[in-house]
Amino acid sequence: WIADAHGPALRRAGTPVAVDLGYGAAPWTAVELLDRLRTAEPRTVVAGIEIDPERVAAAQPYAREGLTFVHGGFEVPLDVRPLLIRAANVLRQYDEDQVAEVWGRLCSRLAPDGLLVEGTCDEIGRRHVWVALGPEGPRTVTFATRLGSLERPSDLAERLPKALIHRNVPGEPVHAFLRDFDRAWATASPYASLGARQRWIAAVRAVSGDWPVTDGARRWRQGEITVPWDALRPSGR
């Protein structure tokens, strides 16, 4: 998704720099991010940033041309402003009230046409929900799943990012969206005989009649649906 959505910005940049923030105990996500982004722009370089010095040291054997590992946190200690910051599962241990401040800090480090992707995924990447933000703030929310693992769209609720996970209750927009998506999924059950992908596409097309879906069938086929942040913004925020 990142390579597709942000590829044009990477190609326009003089120095396309991306950050994998909080890559964890092993550097595989940073390695994969570099490989994926270089399909969109071969000049892309990636910096993996971790707050734990031992994790930074352990990652050094995997450093190579275009891939470095740096000790740091939300200050993003680079000499250049990155075009991309990806932060997956970084805010899980934070309070909801802290999210806006962290978003602000990270967005302030972005290049003018940069993108922050902040969200939560499961351990093997089958389910992921993220917010995409520009320097001005949140833009969209994307729900993504490996379709063969899905029983119903609301299964993704457990992977909502910190800004939304406690808002999946009646009266909140994200709860209404997942409720409507489940109904559309149930209505699309005749498509199940054609495979989970066709059922997902039919359900997304149906739910887009009531919700402002921003992407199209090319991304739906990947098990994704993207809606504007303002459509799911928590009440009172």
pLDDT (tens digit per residue) in 59-111: 999 999 999 999 999 999 999 999 999 999 999 989 999 999 999 999 999 99
Mean pLDDT to the nearest integer, 208-224? 96
Q: What is the pLDDT of residue 41?
A: 97
Considering the domain architecture, whether residues 11 and 89 belong to the same structural domain is answered as yes
- Distance between CA atoms of 92 and 159, rounded to whole angstroms? 10
Average pLDDT, the chain: 96
- 87: nearest Cα among 123, 46, 131, 122: 131
Domain contains 81: yes
Q: What is the pLDDT of residue 123?
A: 79
Considering the domain architecture, whether residues 133 and 154 belong to the same structural domain is answered as no
Considering the domain architecture, whether residues 116 and 92 belong to the same structural domain is answered as yes
Considering the domain architecture, whether residues 133 and 96 belong to the same structural domain is answered as yes
Examine the pLDDT at 237 and tell me if it is beyond 90.
Answer: no
Lookup: tokens for 75: 């200050």
Considering the domain architecture, whether residues 124 and 52 belong to the same structural domain is answered as yes
Domain contains 67: yes
Considering the domain architecture, whether residues 108 and 179 belong to the same structural domain is answered as no
Mean pLDDT to the nearest integer, 25-51? 97
Q: How confident is the model at residue 4 (pLDDT cuts 50, 70, 90)?
A: very high
Domain enclosing residue 183, as ranges: 147-211
Considering the domain architecture, whether residues 117 and 196 belong to the same structural domain is answered as no
Last residue of a domain, which of 127, 145, 163?
145
Q: How confident is the model at residue 124 (pLDDT cuts 50, 70, 90)?
A: confident
Domain contains 233: no
Considering the domain architecture, whether residues 153 and 201 belong to the same structural domain is answered as yes
Domain contains 115: yes
DSSP H stretches of helix in 41-152:
53-59, 96-108
128, 180, 188, 190 from 184: Cα distances, Å: 20, 6, 6, 12
- Distance between CA atoms of 221 and 224, rounded to whole angstroms? 7
Considering the domain architecture, whether residues 140 and 164 belong to the same structural domain is answered as no
CATH number at residue 96: 3.40.50.150
Last residue of a domain, which of 125, 145, 165?
145
- Distance between CA atoms of 237 and 149, rounded to whole angstroms? 33
Considering the domain architecture, whether residues 71 and 11 belong to the same structural domain is answered as yes
Helices 28-40 and 2-12, packing angle to 10 deg: 60
Domain contains 124: yes
Return the exposure string of 180-210: e unless at least 16 CB atoms fall within 10 Å of the residue's CB, then b. bbbbbbeebeebeeeebebbbbbbbebbbee
Q: Which residues pair with 130 in a beta bridge?
A: 119, 142
CB 92 within 8 A of CB 120: yes
Examine the pLDDT at 148 and tell me if it is beyond 90.
Answer: no
- 47: nearest Cα among 39, 60, 180: 60
Mean pLDDT to the nearest integer, 127-146? 97
CB 10 within 8 A of CB 37: yes
Domain contains 18: yes
Domain contains 66: yes
pLDDT tens-digit readout, 67-78: 999 999 999 999
Domain contains 46: yes
Considering the domain architecture, whether residues 110 and 137 belong to the same structural domain is answered as yes
pTM for the model: 0.95
- 73: nearest Cα among 49, 105, 39, 38: 49
- Element (DSSP H or E) covering residue 218: helix 217-220
Q: What is the pLDDT of residue 199?
A: 97
Considering the domain architecture, whether residues 99 and 34 belong to the same structural domain is answered as yes
Split into its structural domains, the chain has a count of 2
Mean pLDDT to the nearest integer, 167-196? 97
- Distance between CA atoms of 213 and 207, rounded to whole angstroms? 8
Examine the pLDDT at 174 and tell me if it is beyond 80.
Answer: yes
